[in-house]
Amino acid sequence: MPTAVVLLAEGAEEMETVISVDVLRRGGIDVKLVGLHGTEPVHCSRDVRIVPDTTLTEAQKSAPYDVVVMPGGANGAKNLAASSEVKSLLESQVENHKLIAAICAAPIALVSHKINPGSKVTSHPSVKGKMEEGSHNSLWLQIQRGEGPGTTFEFALKIVEILQGKEKAHSLVAPMLLKL
């Protein structure tokens, strides 16, 4: 079974976090929701509190994963970008040729941690300039939709497609009543 971690930082965008976890689990991927600073409830961008499954310190013991997912949210992205533990996890992903999937503002962590400069990313329009400063161009790792909360289903389904195949990803659309 493919493995994934979804990183959860204070200020994360709730929809991008929960939808990603849900769709990946429906897609047969073993997902751990990982708190940057412990397992206490994390205060997200719209006043929702989400409880992580484990800590980043614990999750790093099982790295690399098939995918590391980074939800956005302006403050969540800033917290991902400031974490040396996130940098270490992302470097492990790159060294082991594993997937990194960042949505909305989260790709700024790639710039801050100097992860694959010159690679292609997709991000919220509000951070496009920051991405270009870091020599990142749009569309990273075939995840073609990841601009923000409204594209999270497409983002997560693309991850399922990459890890589990197009047929598996497509099989999730009808039961969720998605209109893509």
Active site members = 104, 124
The answer to whether 38 touches 58, Cβ cutoff 8 Å, is no
Give the Cα separation of 70 and 47 in Å (integer).
19
Taking 3-state DSSP, the helix, strand and coil percentages for the chain, each rounded to the nearest 5, stand at 45, 15, 40
Other beta carbons within 10 angstroms of residue 145's beta carbon come to: 18
Instruction: List all residues 6 or more positions away from 97 whose beta carbon is below 8 Å from its beta carbon.
Output: none
Nearest to 81 by CA among 169, 175, 162, 10: 10
Tokens of 34: 């990982």
C-alpha span between 72 and 180 (Å, rounded):
21
